[in-house]
Amino acid sequence: MRNYEIVFLVHPDQSDQTSSIISKLDKLVNDSGGNVHRSENIGNRKLAYPIQDQFKASYGLLNVECNQETINEIKNSFKFNDSIIRNLVLSVNKIHKDTSSLLMQTKEDNEKDTYQEARDAANKAEEREAQNASKTEKPADIKSSSNEAPEEETKKEGE
């Protein structure tokens, strides 16, 4: 048996199917007498270029040890699954069991996004407070300026 790395991209509208596809592939490999060394649902990531007018996709990754017939069956299942927009099956020399760097990077990006969203929310709250504070000061200024303007007009009309 040989070692393979399988990566596939799922259409973003059907990204909830990524986990079920991974579990089906796990079952397929295990039923054929192979081993699954790593299976990861990496999640949604931005694509380098649009695929089928989509800019994001859900990534799935498997490292398996199985025979060629199982790989042919996996490739065939990819062909007939409309939710999978791209796939790649590579033969690798060594077994990879540790967490992929792509998953680690995705987690870091999600943490950065959450941090950025929190900062943006705090900034918006500060802006709203500043606007509310400035709104309470403006009516007094408007009243004083509106009182002065009619007096000048009445003086000009009376003269």
**Span 71-85, average pLDDT:** 93
Distance CA 74, CA 6 (A): 9
Mean pLDDT of 125-148: 65
Provide the residue ranges of all domains of the chain, joining segments of one domain with +: 2-97, 99-159
Structure tokens that stand for 69 in this block: 């017939």
> Are 63 and 96 contacting, i.e. CB atoms less than 8 angstroms apart?
yes
**What's the rounded Cα separation, in Å, for the pair 18 and 25?**
11
Map residue 80 onto helix, strand or coil. Answer: coil
Q: Which pLDDT band, with edges at 50, 70 and 90, does 20 fall under?
A: very high
Rounded distance, CA 47 to CA 56, Å? Answer: 5
Residues contacting 75, CB < 8 A, separation 6+? 87, 89
Residue 120 is encoded by which pair of tokens? 């943006």
Length of the chain in terms of residues written:
159
With cut-offs at 50, 70 and 90, classify the pLDDT of residue 64. Answer: very high
At 24, the pLDDT band (50, 70, 90 cuts) reads: very high
Looking at domain 2-97, which CATH architecture does it have?
2-Layer Sandwich (3.30)
